[in-house]
Structures are given as structure tokens and as C-alpha cells.
Structure 1
Amino acid sequence: MQRPDSQNNNAPSAGRVVLSADDVTRALRRIAHEILEHNRGADDLVVLGIPTRGETLAHRLVAALAAVEDVAVPVGSLDVTMYRDDLRRQPMRAAQPTRIPECGVDDKVVVLVDDVLYSGRTVRAALDALGDIGRPRAVRLAVLVDRGHRELPIRADHVGKNLPTAHSERVHVRLFEDDGADEVRILDQEEVAGR
């Protein structure tokens, strides 16, 4: 299932660049510092990325945390496909494996990582999935882009960039590991239709 706020495409996009590769790196570095400051260090942290790009960002975030604190923060992935509330309306994508670190999530501070926060429905699904795995002490949300338009009362704790958009626009995140380049672009309705 392809979310409307993130496109899977390796080819360069149309639209305008709103975050360059350097901007993405700086945003993740800042988020790492914010997480460590809020948590007063890296104790009991577990970072879980929401596939696909959230998982990639989670691994980068853990590397940024290690650069600051010189500790290995456990990292994994949390697939939310079967917890989504729109399975009947959209074709389902193949489920990705959920990988929980050996330390588990019970009594840990879990940082969920995703590329774009839009309606909040993916995060709601992630919270449901996480609840089936264990009972964290706290759950925090880190996103590269918050584009607004929430349909649920969910907000990110750590945001790389707040990017107000129109409903007709799409935010296209490309990461080197998945797409061969790092950038975030906004595509308008005509550009989305022409893809």
C-alpha cells in the first residue's frame, strides 16, 4: 500500500526541493540531541522505524545518537500494515518484517520514527502494533517532516521540518539507501497526476 504522503520511486522527482541532503543530515542530528536531552541520556532508549523510510531514518538516527553519546541504542522496525484502518479502501502492500531488539520494549522509552506525519493514522496503527508487543514506559514520535492535516489527535515530539502543505500536494521523501539520493520535495496536484 502506498501512502499518499510518501512516494516509492527511484527516479528524480518533479516539484521543488524543500530539504537537501545536508538539511536531512542536520535535522537528524538535531533530533538526536533533542531525544538525548529530553531522556537525559540514552538509558532505556529503543528506536523503532516504520518501514520503509522510517526504518532507514531510524538507523540513521541511532548512528547520530551514537555520535553524541558513544552508546549503541537498540534499533528495530515496526510494520503497521495489518493495523491500518484503511485496508478495505486501498490495496494492501506486502507486510514488512517487524524486528524488535533483544532488550524488548517493556519499560523502555520507545522512539517511533517515520518519514512524514500527515493524517496521524500510521502512527495510530503503530501504537496499536506496539501495544501488542509490550508495554513501554513512554512512546515518543520523531518524524523528518510534519506536513499538517491531522485527522487524529497525534503530534510529533521531534520534527525535522514543519512543512505546511495543501491537501492536493504530496511530500516525496527520497533517501540514499532506498532511492539513491537524499532529498524531500513537494509535488503539486498536476505533478502527482503526471507521475
Structure 2
Amino acid sequence: MTNKEVLDNASLQRALTRITYEIIERNKGGQDLVLVGIKTRGEFLAHRIANRLEQLEGVKIPVMAIDITNFRDDVLNHDDSLGLNDEEKTNIADKNIVLIDDVLFTGRTIRAALDALIHIGRPNTIALAVLVDRGHRELPIRADFVGKNIPTAQNEKIKVLVQEIDGRDAVEIVH
């Protein structure tokens, strides 16, 4: 397998900044906004976007991370657990949610995340932000905020590297 870097650190940072500005414009600041990152890499991206929002708007935005494993359609035994302790739970009722993930592919992870969010409460709106949209949807799901569209072949994979886990920021196509 070979890896081809398609976003370097600077490009990834610009993409996150662009997403942040689009979130600000769509939400007229940050009032009633909650960022929800899909574990694992979406969680780190959500925190980065929240930090940028705070720098730009002077508002601290709540960030929550969800584990959608038990809401996936390929898991037979659901226990409806999000793996959240009380400190991690944020009241999402009547809030404007921005669901954040690293890569949008088939849409199945996002569908599971939507089920998980509705399990927690009834938000006012849910928007989707992804660092990379690679196409090949199996469900009618689209992102509201996209850092970069990267068309791929079905057999290729997108690998998002984040400093917090991988020691550097980049996006690679794995052939």
C-alpha cells in the first residue's frame, strides 16, 4: 500500500478555519450552538473548531463527543449507550448542533450519529461538518460544511492524521 498526502498541515488548518467561518455565518455567532464530535478524530476536530470559534467570536461553545458504535446498522446487539458520563453530557434540547467528523463516505456513520443525538434529546437543528468528503454515498446524506472534497476510487481509503493521536496533521489517500 502506498500513501499519497493530499492535505498537509497548513492546508488542513485552512480547511478547519474555513469551516469555522462558515459555522459562524450560518449560526450568526455561537448562541445556542453545540459542537458534537464523532469519536475519535471528529472529537479532536470539534475541539479545534470550538477553540477557533472562541478566538473569533469570544464565545465558549460547548463540545461533546459521542461514540456511535451501538447505533451502527451493522451491530446486532444495541445497548443504546453513548459511553458518556454525566460530565460529558450536554443538554442538546432546542440547541443548534454541528455534528463533526473527519471523513464522509457512505453516510452510515452519520446516520448512526443522528440516531445517537436523537436518543439524547431533540435539538433545534443539526448540521454536518466534515474535514473530507470523498463521495460514494449509500444514504441520502450530505455535509453542510466541507473542508475539502477529495474524489476517490471505491477501493481507496482516506486516512486523516491528527496531532493528538498521530503526532502530525495531514490527510492521505491510501492506495
Query: How far, CA to CA, are the matches of 2:109 and 2:40 in structure 1?
Result: 12
1:58 aligns with 2:46: yes
Instruction: Give TM-score, length-normalised by structure 2.
Output: 0.92
Q: 1:134 aligns with which of 91, 96, 121?
A: 121
Aligned residues: 168
Mapped partners of 2:116, 2:172: distance in 1: 29
The CA RMSD measured in Å over matched residues stands at 1.4
Describe the superposition over 1:118-167 as per-residue Cα deviations: whole angstroms up to 9, x where unpaired.
Answer: 00000000010111100000000000000000000000000000010000
Amino acid at match of 1:27: A
Confirm or deny: 8 A CA contact 2:3 2:172 kept in the other structure: yes
Q: Out of 14, 19, 29, which is 1:26 matched to?
A: 14
Task: Determine if contact 1:48/1:110 at 8 Å carries over to the other structure.
Answer: yes
- Shift, 1:78, TM fit: 1.2
1:114 matched to 2:101: yes
Which of 120, 136, 142 lines up with 1:155 in the alignment? 142
Write the distance in 1 (CA, Å) between the matches of 2:112 and 2:95. 19
Other structure's SS at 1:111 match? strand
- From the two aligned structures, give the one with the greater strand fraction: 2
For 1:38, the aligned partner's letter is R
Unaligned ranges ≥5, structure 2 = none
Matches within 5 A, 1:28-43: 28-43=16-31
Moved over 4 A (4+): none
Question: 1:151 is aligned with what amino acid?
Answer: E
Helix, strand or coil: the match of 1:61? helix
* 1:181 alignment partner in structure 2: 168
Match of 1:71 among 54, 59, 65: 59
1:100 to 75, 86, 89: 89
In structure 1, runs of 5+ residues without a counterpart are 1-12, 89-94, 189-195
Q: Distance in 1 between matches of 2:6 and 2:61?
A: 30
> Aligned partners of 1:110 and 1:83: how far apart in 2?
18
SS of 1:87's equivalent in the other structure is: coil
What is the identity percentage for the equivalent residue pairs of Structure 1 and Structure 2? 53
Separation in 2 of the partners of 1:23 and 1:118? 20
What residue identity is the alignment partner of 2:89?
A: I
Q: Quote how far apart the aligned CAs of 1:96 are.
A: 7.1
CA deviation string 1:47-101 (max 9, x = no partner): 010000000100001011111101100001111000001125xxxxxx8733323
- How far apart are 1:14 and its partner, in Å? 3.8
Q: Which residue identity lines up with residue 41 of structure 1 in the other structure?
A: G
Give the aligned residue type for 1:130.
L
Counterparts of 1:14 and 1:43 in 2: how far apart (Å)? Answer: 44
